[in-house]
Amino acid sequence: MVGKTTLDKYMTTPGEMEEIPEHERTKHFKLLTRYVLPKPTRKRLRWEGERRVIHSSDIGGEERFWNLWIDDMVARQCEYVIFMFDDRAFNEGAIDQIGGFKFLVDSIISRRYRYRNFRSWRRGKKYVPRLVVLIANKADRYFDNKAAQLWQQGRIGEHKIFDPFRDDLIRLQKAGIPTKRNFMATRIGWNVEQSLLDMIDY
């Protein structure tokens, strides 16, 4: 419920978005003993005359789906990994959001991947993403004067919203995996295209 599906829908068709109710949160179905990976979809990003095409997957954030993140990432050899969270990382959402990012970082650094087929096993042995992007979503809830000041100075990484994730960001940097941090408000379409194009241009 941090806004992954809203982002996926916004990239498909930009515009004012509705709040997605909890009963419609992203689900995946099991086939025998494994959850079925969603198929990636093609998106067109446009911003200030620049156009790019990306293929992205929307995967659920519940703990039972965490392995799907890794399966999809390795199977498709994803260049960019976006991890979204919101201000609930400081209270009721802390375990899922901070724990989920730690799981992702552990998997990338140790290359502890599950392989769905021989092709992904062969390609996954040396796989690491080009960039991991940590997105603080729902910025309209916490974007205060301090955030505005850091934004203008290009120092958003210093904002307290990123504090729970700093240790894992440092671990990625030490492992030679670049990271970026950004603010976003997907439901109202604030800083969405800019953030994604900035990611692709890395």
pLDDT in tens, 131-181: 999 999 999 888 889 899 999 998 999 999 999 999 999 999 999 999 999
Span 28-39, average pLDDT? 78
DSSP type of residue 37:
P
What is the spatial distance between Cα 4 and Cα 26, in angstroms, rounded to a whole number? Answer: 9
- pLDDT, tens digit, 9 for 90 and up, residues 48-66: 888 889 999 888 888 888 8
DSSP string spanning 129-167? -SEEEEEE--GGGT--HHHHHHHHTT-GGGSGGGGGGHH
What is the spatial distance between Cα 161 and Cα 174, in angstroms, rounded to a whole number? Answer: 22
What is the torsional sign of CA 170, 98, 134, 55?
A: positive
Q: Kindly indicate the confidence band of residue 123, based on its pLDDT and cuts at 50, 70 and 90.
A: confident
Residue type at 179 in one-letter notation = T
Phi/psi of residue 56, nearest 5 degrees:
-130, 155
Q: Kindly indicate the confidence band of residue 47, based on its pLDDT and cuts at 50, 70 and 90.
A: confident
**Residue 24 clears pLDDT 70, i.e. is over it:** no
- pLDDT, tens digit, 9 for 90 and up, residues 136-145: 999 988 888 9
pLDDT for the residue 14: 86
Domains assigned to the chain: 4-200 (3.40.50.300)
- 190 or 94, higher pLDDT: 190
pLDDT for the residue 133: 95
* Structural contact between residues 178 and 202, judged by C-beta atoms closer than 8 angstroms: yes
Please give the angle made by the CA atoms of 116, 121 and 124, to the nearest 5 degrees.
110
List the strands of the sheet with 80-85, edge to edge: 80-85, 131-136, 179-183
What is the spatial distance between Cα 197 and Cα 202, in angstroms, rounded to a whole number? Answer: 9
Q: Kindly report the pTM of this predicted structure.
A: 0.86
pLDDT for the residue 80: 94
- pLDDT, tens digit, 9 for 90 and up, residues 70-118: 888 888 889 999 999 998 877 765 778 899 999 999 999 988 777 666 6
Q: How far is CA 148 from the centre of its chain?
A: 23
Mean confidence (pLDDT) of the chain: 86
pLDDT for the residue 27: 75
What is the spatial distance between Cα 92 and Cα 128, in angstroms, rounded to a whole number? Answer: 31
pLDDT for the residue 126: 80
* Structural contact between residues 108 and 177, judged by C-beta atoms closer than 8 angstroms: yes
